[in-house]
Amino acid sequence: MNRIFLKSMAVAFSSLAASVLLALIIVPAIGGSIDGNAWLMLTICPLAIAWPASAFTFWQGEKLKRAHGDLARAHAELADAHAKLEEKSRRDPMTGMLNRETFFAALDRSRRKSDRGALLIIDADHFKKINDSFGHLTGDKALLEIAAAISRAVRSGDILGRIGGEEFAAFLMGASDQEAIRVAERVRHEVELIRFQPMDERVVPLTVSIGGTICRSEANVSELMRAADKHLYEAKNRGRNLAIFDVHAAA
């Protein structure tokens, strides 16, 4: 408010000065003279008109500036909320990993950039037994433990997703055959090390079976999934807690 008052006062006195200056130039030029009443009008009118008019204008300008600032902040908050909502829609709400749709979209984009890499499908062993014995809340805790173990075992930059109830997937960007086998075995071993004690009872072993495949340049996402699933079923049929990768196996 003080700033508006000072600015409008400056405008009013500038108007007064301009009024007096013009009168001193123009009136004598046309053969007239400035008497006392004229001087009074020259001083009062600019002050009476310019001061309130400029004060109102500056006040309106400040209101518009504040409104613009509020609108800009609201827009930024809306954009931030939209970004968070979009990110949330891409994630599995429990584990924070990419959800099924987003994982396969990311896999497809990565395949367009590079032919090298490997796909792992990771499935928790005997998970229905945990749910049936201890309840689904305990089962969720077990899944969180498994998801954390998988995250620890993979490399930085690898893409992780939860693609089913107890099924996870990892795309190992640029991994060679041997790198992929090492990561798959590391995942299996990291899960095996978990000491899961539901409801303060005995330790319940957690293990996963893993099927993996090298990403051939001509293979699409569906073909890669079928190949990895095939090896996953083989790991399940061979006793579980295995990582089978194409024709190789790590146990």
CA distances from 186 to 28, 107, 151, 166, 178 (A): 100, 21, 11, 19, 12
Backbone angles phi, psi at 212, to 5 degrees: -135, 160
Catalytic residue among 77, 87, 166, 218: 166
**166 catalytic residue (yes or no):** yes
Return the number of other C-beta atoms located less than 10 Å from residue 1's C-beta. Answer: 8
- Cβ-contact 187, 150 below 8 angstroms: yes
Q: Coil, strand or helix: which one is 94?
A: coil
b/e burial code for range 183-206 (CB count within 10 A of at least 16 → b)? bbbbbbebbeebebebeeeeebeb
Residues tagged active-site: 166
